[in-house]
Structure 1
Amino acid sequence: MAIASVCSTAQTQIDEILEEFKGRTIKNVFYVACGGSSALMYPSKYFVDRESSNVTAEVYNSNEFIYRDPQTLGENSLVILCSHKGKTPETTEAAKFAKKKGALVVSLMYVETAPLADESDYIVNYSWAPPGELDPHPEFMNYAVLYRLTAGLLYIKEGNDKYEKFVNSLESMDAVLRKVKIQYTEKAKAYAQEYKDEPTIYTMASGSNYGIAYSFAICILMEMQWINSHAIHAGEFFHGPFEILDENCPFILLMGLDETRPMEERALKFLQEHGKKLLILDAKDIDLTGFDEEVKKYLVPLVLNFVLRVYAVELAEARNHPLEVRRYMFKVPY
């Protein structure tokens, strides 16, 4: 798809879906995907949890969605799925499963045609750029499309006024990310040189940012760099994981602006008292000019995700381990 047409195509697709919302009763939203595509759905679930009094939201791994067979899934359900190239078999099967249950099925993907598209009622083609590179249209990247759909749903069903604030704020995403790349590139280079030989790096966050930490741990560190990792919820840190901390144990802590920040601040205090190898990425240190105050906390995950991608690129360079290298994925039967 030509770059110039990405925005208009995605907006038209989103408008059609929002129009469909008007004629349907929707009581619950199921966000369904695998891996990084699943992780990017956590911020939207957080938004629904915080903002809606009538609609509930859950995030499911595609296969477990089918095996667990939620009894609340039905004709009053919205199922939003995501697969980068629309070829993830489990996600395609989950779409087919949801349609059989009578749910409205919406799928996000980077490509125009794919098996997942064939099993969906609607699709949205989002904008995409490789890790660490500036997306030509970040206002329509996958995270942003999810927010447009989710906030749009609550606007239509409950009159939530944050939809327009999201739309307006997303227009500033390009400027924010450009400043972020300048702010963090040299820091990422230095970090990569210092930590390139570490066998293990833990990530931690909470609330709307937890999915970002999870994605970095499983998709970047484990999948793309073969570094042992685990995403730790800041609220769970003191219920087991903190015993692994010592002066030689690297931690990355994401600190957001949402209501769960006190948990991250508590974790930060302990990390600084008992650890040394720390990378603290705090949204308070980032210029978020252009973001509406009421939705800023929800947009932080999109920004921190980009920051981590900048670090990923430099880490891969320092380790001479390209992000594209795989041992098993797409190479052996699984």
Structure 2
Amino acid sequence: MVNAAPYMNANAQLEQIFEAFKQRTITRVFYVACGGSSALMYPSKYFLDRESSTITAEIYSSNEFIHRNPQSLSEQSLVILCSHKGKTPETTAAAKFAKSKGALVVSLMYVETAPLADESDFIVNYSWISAGNMEPHPEIMNYAVLYKLAMGLLYVKEGNNKYEKLLSSLDNLGSVFEKVMQQNTGLVDAYAQKYKDEKIIYTMASGANYGMAYSFAICILMEMQRIHSHAIHAGEFFHGPFEILDKDVPFILLMGLDETRPLEERALTFLKQYGEKLIIVDAKNFDLTGIDEEVQGYLAPLVNNFFLRMFALALSKARNHPLETRRYMFKVPY
């Protein structure tokens, strides 16, 4: 039997945060984190950019957030931070810094107690599981919680009704993931065998998908597999990076369902014309039954990311290089 405690805990925490939203004027959201935690914030920023007429959003790397010291950071700011174990020192320092400016500070982590929690006004304990495995509660994984915070904020402040559609859609995300796994396990295994000896693999996307490409490049390929990589924005591809393309250079292209899809489609046309080693992850090819049409563009990156998680696990097995293997991280001073 699946333990429902994390689900109930996260929902209760979110309700407390929404009550706090009602008590404050919020004009700006700062997403602050490092690495993969930061990358997962891109879809939520995209949502706020598209949907809000009164609230703006920015993403900062934790340490730079402090050193740059944005002058717009104030008591009318919401600062959302994320650190898996709540121990990332730069992110904890960023939370303390944000509170010193009077901002409302909300932090995400998958542990109940941590230094980051001590410096935050509110925390949300999300659910987490290793790459490629089925998560029993995808509706409260970190990217889902980030969306709930963003959409909940606009529901409270602007009456945006996509929050209710998001909740029902997230409840069906597990079945969508299950179908992705059933229908694509053979494909990701084949990709893993084909690309296991590559020295470099580029990733590309735009819009709500870009954070997933960035996360896969820096966290999976570079950190966990020591494969050279770079995340390329599809809109920037034709302004320099496309010169690297030939039939021997592997590219992963994520294609979403949001308003920036034409950028990815343009990149796809060029990749097919001049490249041969291509992995195309297109949300149009997945069965999104149960995901409300109005939020499919926002949730497509989560489905694409699940496919990438499957590929990451298959690649690690094909290379005999476990995803947990590190050379420097957590092992030497830095």
TM-score, normalised on structure 1? 0.99
Distance 1:136 1:255 in 2: 26
What is the 5 A alignment of 1:260-275? Answer: 260-275=260-275
Q: Which runs of 5+ in 1 are unaligned?
A: none
Q: Are 1:73 and 2:73 matched, yes or no?
A: yes
Task: Show CA shifts across 1:16-47 (max 9, x none).
Answer: 00011001000000000000000000000000
Look up the SS of the partner of 2:289 in the other structure. Answer: coil
Paired residue for 1:55?
55
What is the 5 A alignment of 1:312-323? Answer: 312-323=312-323
Paired residue for 1:11?
11
Q: Which amino acid aligns with 2:29?
A: V
TM-score, normalised on structure 2? 0.99
Q: Which amino acid aligns with 1:28?
A: R
Paired residue for 2:160?
160
Q: Are 1:85 and 2:92 matched, yes or no?
A: no
Q: Are 1:144 and 2:179 matched, yes or no?
A: no
Q: Which amino acid aligns with 2:315?
A: L
**1:185 Cα deviation after fit:** 1.1
Q: Which amino acid aligns with 1:209?
A: N
Paired residue for 1:283?
283
Look up the SS of the partner of 2:81 in the other structure. Answer: strand
Task: Show CA shifts across 1:101-156 (max 9, x none).
Answer: 00000000000000000000000000111100011100111011011111010011
Task: Show CA shifts across 1:193-238 (max 9, x none).
Answer: 1110000000000000000000000000000000000000000000
Distance 2:302 2:76 in 1: 29
Distance 2:8 2:195 in 1: 42
Distance 1:316 1:89 in 2: 29
Paired residue for 1:250?
250
Q: Which amino acid aligns with 2:89?
A: P
Q: Which amino acid aligns with 2:62?
A: S
Look up the SS of the partner of 1:253 in the other structure. Answer: strand
Distance 2:3 2:111 in 1: 12
Q: Which amino acid aligns with 2:82?
A: C
Runs of 4+ aligned residues of structure 1 deviating over 3 Å after TM superposition are: none
Task: Show CA shifts across 1:50-92 (max 9, x none).
Answer: 0000000001000010011000000000000000000000000
**1:258 Cα deviation after fit:** 0.3
**1:304 Cα deviation after fit:** 0.8
**1:170 Cα deviation after fit:** 0.4
**1:279 Cα deviation after fit:** 0.3
Paired residue for 1:110?
110
Distance 1:161 1:173 in 2: 19
Q: Are 1:198 and 2:198 matched, yes or no?
A: yes
Q: Are 1:177 and 2:159 matched, yes or no?
A: no
Q: Which amino acid aligns with 1:275?
A: G
Distance 2:100 2:185 in 1: 47
What is the 5 A alignment of 1:205-220? Answer: 205-220=205-220
Q: Which runs of 5+ in 2 are unaligned?
A: none
Distance 2:88 2:304 in 1: 26
Look up the SS of the partner of 1:254 in the other structure. Answer: strand
**1:99 Cα deviation after fit:** 0.1
Q: Which amino acid aligns with 2:61?
A: N
Distance 1:170 1:314 in 2: 26
Task: Show CA shifts across 1:280-307 (max 9, x none).
Answer: 0100000000011111100011111111
Task: Show CA shifts across 1:258-277 (max 9, x none).
Answer: 00000000000000000000
Distance 1:184 1:104 in 2: 42
State, as a whole percentage, how many aligned pairs show the same letter: 72
**1:3 Cα deviation after fit:** 3.1
Distance 2:229 2:149 in 1: 32
**1:4 Cα deviation after fit:** 2.3
